[in-house]
Amino acid sequence: MSTIVLLHAFPVGPAMWEPQIAALSGHELAIPRLYGRGTSIDGWARQLLRELDGELVPVGASMGGYCALALARRAPERLCGLVLAGSRASADTAAGVSTREQTIEILRRGGFERIWATMEPTLFGPNADPAQLAEAHATAAAQSADELVAATAAMRDRPDLSDVVRTLPCPLLVTTGEFDFVRPEASTLSALAPQGELAVIEGAGHLASFERPDLFNPILLDFLARAI
């Protein structure tokens, strides 16, 4: 049986996948914590491939999508499907690198709440449930500053993996929220893959799987039924 590997976004943790657990009850699941694995996303992927057996379907949200692509680069033969949710294959631009470095400095000075105040409007759609916002804040605030710094450095230093998408030997599902800041890149990303498809989640921001599981889960289940 293929293992569905749910890879979380930044700055939240594995708890972001709680809305998917019941829907995926018929599948073998792995929901690893990416923090604490060092400052290399390729290194995260190497660790996960040692920890997990058999065929995999990585489902990566934002930062988790970068890790999913690193898994695909290292072991394409082990993947029978790949889902990139609010993620991209390109490396950071110069402006993006600068923003990451600013984030690192703010976090080192104990400025998590400042980072969250900047990020929250980009993570959710304009009509997000306040309870969801509070839950996401709680799981993000539970992460240590040092681990968030290391994860930010890992994202800053990741390479462009567009060629991995171009040569992907399995089906690819790209999802993006209606209000997701990476939505303009989503159609291009899905078109890169030999077996790529795109789904836009109405009303959602960057964390569409968390914000609109009522729409995301059926799309994911349909993809898994066809891919596995």
**Separation CA 41–CA 99 (nearest Å):** 18
pTM above 0.95, yes or no: yes
What is the pLDDT, as a whole number, of residue 183? 97
Tens digit of each residue's pLDDT, the chain (228 residues): 899 999 999 999 999 999 999 999 999 999 999 999 999 999 999 999 999 999 999 999 999 999 999 999 999 999 999 999 999 999 999 999 999 999 999 999 999 999 999 999 999 999 999 999 999 999 999 999 999 999 999 999 999 999 999 999 999 999 999 999 999 999 999 999 999 999 999 999 999 999 999 999 999 999 999 999
Helix ranges, 84-144 (H): 94-108, 112-123, 130-141
Enter the tokens of residue 102.
Answer: 């600013």
What the chain holds in terms of domains, given with CATH numbers, is 3-227 (3.40.50.1820)
Q: What's the pLDDT at 1?
A: 84
Q: Could you tell me which residues come within 8 angstroms of residue 2 by beta carbon, excluding any fewer than 6 positions away?
A: 27, 28, 54, 55, 56, 57, 80, 81, 228
Residue 77 DSSP label: G
d(CA 174, CA 189): 7
Q: Which two tokens stand for residue 71?
A: 């898994």
